[in-house]
């Protein structure tokens, strides 16, 4: 049987309908996936914009001041050359004699915080004293020529790194803008958002189609200028990506609120850095963690309980000898006396360069017996990574090479932020051209319910872990809501 002409149109319509039914479900799924992905990208793009507009100034200041800090060790050596170096020749005097000379100079009523013997030929010994008029992180350092016992001067030193007034000022500027504890919030805010901005920018770059480069002898248009700045902004961001995440993570460990949460997590999982036990009464021994950030905030000068005893300068000779016999062989080391009869002295290596030398021992000054020793080789992997991360962040792990890399990253980040602001200026919307969907709230409303829930849970977890990020996010949402209401008028 053959089909006549009247039936052919029906068959064609039937075939076309079947094709539509076969392709309907996949097309719907594909459109839904594309819409969900587009909404997430829009939300990320808007968040990236807000970080760049409102948080980037804090990141810029942190990057610039951090760069100044890491490039000034050589300048500090030159600036304080008289105190740090000597041209005397001959045999070194006993360490006890150097300590006694420093005590005579500064006053017998001053308590010794620590002593750093001259590490190399031509350098001075540093005897550091507590003073009530100094911050908890600071000591008054007296510099002694180890050969002639000449007092080369006195300066305020900061932290276990022993930085002097020039770099101390830069350190405070980087940490808190010279505003004290209140100012620390700025650096924590910058570190909290830096990793989000870096990773978010990488995702946005990967999701954007390659734009064809336009070459012309004519004056570049606004869109072309915007494209060029976006290209350089994105290129710098990709080149600096790993470093930015690293600086964010290590910077957060110094922060007040997020840093406390990180310390609690490390303590809970047993990831803390070990420290020597200084108790001379085993029953009262306590497992105290080491602070890797003592470079920035020094040691506490508080003495809890126990009877205070005097320190005999002669003990510095015998304690140092016992520590050397126990394997403390680094040139750079620090001796910290104990002012309680139930506490031992500590001798610690302070060479943070590569290879890292941070072994320490506790010595009983009564009989010069080593009662405990902690070697860097015994550190757990996370403790080693933390030590290396902190030292690399400060530019001391690999010496000058470390300083140059940090300077390039810091200046590159500042330049990238400048490009971002130029992009914002070129594409700023004119009055009355703001779309309600061009807001965080508008993008959020376009997400699927499941995506909203997952994103909400992740946001709450991060906000609890990084409190300043959570508070600033609420402020950004308030600004966004105001902007959304303005766009609806």
- Domains of the chain from N-terminus onward: 81-163 (3.10.450), 276-284+317-378 (3.10.450), 438-489 (no CATH)
Q: What's the mean pLDDT in 247-262? A: 92
Q: Which residue has the higher pLDDT, 85 or 298?
A: 85
pLDDT(157) > 60 = yes
pLDDT(153) > 50 = yes
Residue 290's pLDDT is 58
Crossing angle of helices 8-50 and 449-465, in 10° steps, is 10
Q: What's the mean pLDDT in 1-25? A: 42
CA distance linking residue 39 with residue 50, whole number of Å: 17
Residue 355 preceded by cis peptide, ω within 30: yes
pTM of the model: 0.85
Q: What's the mean pLDDT in 177-204? A: 95
How far is residue 292 from each of residues 319, 329, 389, measured CA to CA in Å?
A: 24, 21, 10
pLDDT confidence band for 446 (50 / 70 / 90): confident
**Which has the closest alpha carbon to 343: 316, 362, 322, 368?**
362
pLDDT confidence band for 45 (50 / 70 / 90): very high
Contact present, 254 and 293 (Cβ < 8 Å): yes
CA distance linking residue 407 with residue 318, whole number of Å: 43
CA atoms within 13 A on the CB side of 56: 20
Contact present, 54 and 186 (Cβ < 8 Å): no
CA distance linking residue 78 with residue 62, whole number of Å: 25
Burial of 302: CB neighbours in 10 Å, binned 0-12, 13-18, 19+? exposed
CA distance linking residue 164 with residue 172, whole number of Å: 12
CA angle, 128 then 321 then 104, to 5°? 35
pLDDT confidence band for 270 (50 / 70 / 90): confident
pLDDT confidence band for 293 (50 / 70 / 90): low
């Amino acid at each position: 049987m053959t089909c006549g002409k009247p039936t052919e149109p029906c068959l064609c319509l039937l075939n076309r309908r079947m094709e539509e039914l076969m392709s309907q479900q996949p097309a719907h799924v594909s459109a839904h996936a594309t819409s969900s992905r587009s909404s997430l990208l829009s939300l990320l793009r808007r968040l990236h914009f807000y970080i760049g507009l409102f948080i980037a100034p804090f990141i810029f200041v942190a990057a610039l001041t951090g760069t100044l800090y890491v490039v000034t060790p050589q300048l500090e050596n030159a600036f304080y050359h008289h105190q740090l170096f000597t041209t005397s020749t001959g045999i070194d005097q006993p360490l006890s004699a150097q300590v006694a000379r420093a005590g005579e100079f500064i006053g017998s009523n001053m308590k010794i915080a620590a002593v750093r013997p001259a590490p190399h030929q031509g350098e001075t010994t540093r005897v550091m004293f507590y003073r009530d008029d100094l911050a908890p992180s600071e000591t008054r350092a007296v510099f002694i020529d180890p050969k002639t016992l000449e007092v080369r001067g006195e300066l305020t030193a900061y932290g276990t790194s022993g930085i002097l007034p020039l770099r101390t000022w830069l350190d405070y500027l980087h940490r808190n803008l010279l505003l004290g504890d209140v100012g620390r919030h700025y650096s924590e805010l910058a570190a909290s958002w830096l990793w989000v901005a870096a990773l978010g920018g990488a995702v946005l770059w990967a999701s954007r189609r390659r734009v064809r480069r336009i070459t012309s002898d004519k004056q570049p248009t606004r869109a072309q200028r915007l494209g060029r700045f976006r290209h350089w902004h994105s290129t710098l961001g990709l080149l600096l990506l790993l470093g930015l995440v690293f600086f964010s993570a290590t910077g957060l460990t110094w922060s007040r609120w997020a840093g406390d949460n990180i310390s609690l997590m490390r303590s809970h999982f047993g990831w803390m850095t070990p420290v020597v036990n200084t108790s001379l009464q085993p029953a009262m021994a306590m497992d105290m963690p080491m602070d890797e950030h003592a470079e920035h905030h020094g040691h506490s000068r508080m003495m809890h309980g126990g009877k205070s005893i005097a320190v005999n300068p002669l003990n510095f000779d015998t304690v140092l000898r016992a520590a050397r016999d126990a394997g403390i062989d680094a040139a750079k080391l620090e001796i910290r006396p104990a002012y309680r009869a139930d506490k031992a002295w500590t001798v610690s290596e302070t060479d943070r360069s590569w290879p890292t030398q941070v072994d320490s021992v506790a010595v009983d000054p009564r009989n010069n017996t080593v009662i405990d020793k902690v070697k860097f080789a015994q550190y757990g992997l996370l403790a080693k990574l933390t030590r290396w991360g902190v030292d690399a962040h400060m530019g001391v792990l690999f010496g000058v090479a470390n300083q140059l890399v940090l300077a390039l990253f810091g200046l590159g980040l500042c330049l990238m932020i400048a490009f971002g602001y130029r992009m914002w200026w070129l594409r700023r919307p004119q009055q009355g051209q703001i779309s309600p969907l061009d807001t965080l709230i508008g993008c959020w409303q376009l997400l699927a319910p499941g995506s909203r829930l997952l994103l909400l849970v992740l946001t709450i977890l991060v906000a609890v872990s990084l409190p300043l990020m959570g508070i600033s996010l609420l402020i950004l949402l308030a600004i966004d809501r105001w902007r959304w209401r303005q766009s609806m008028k």
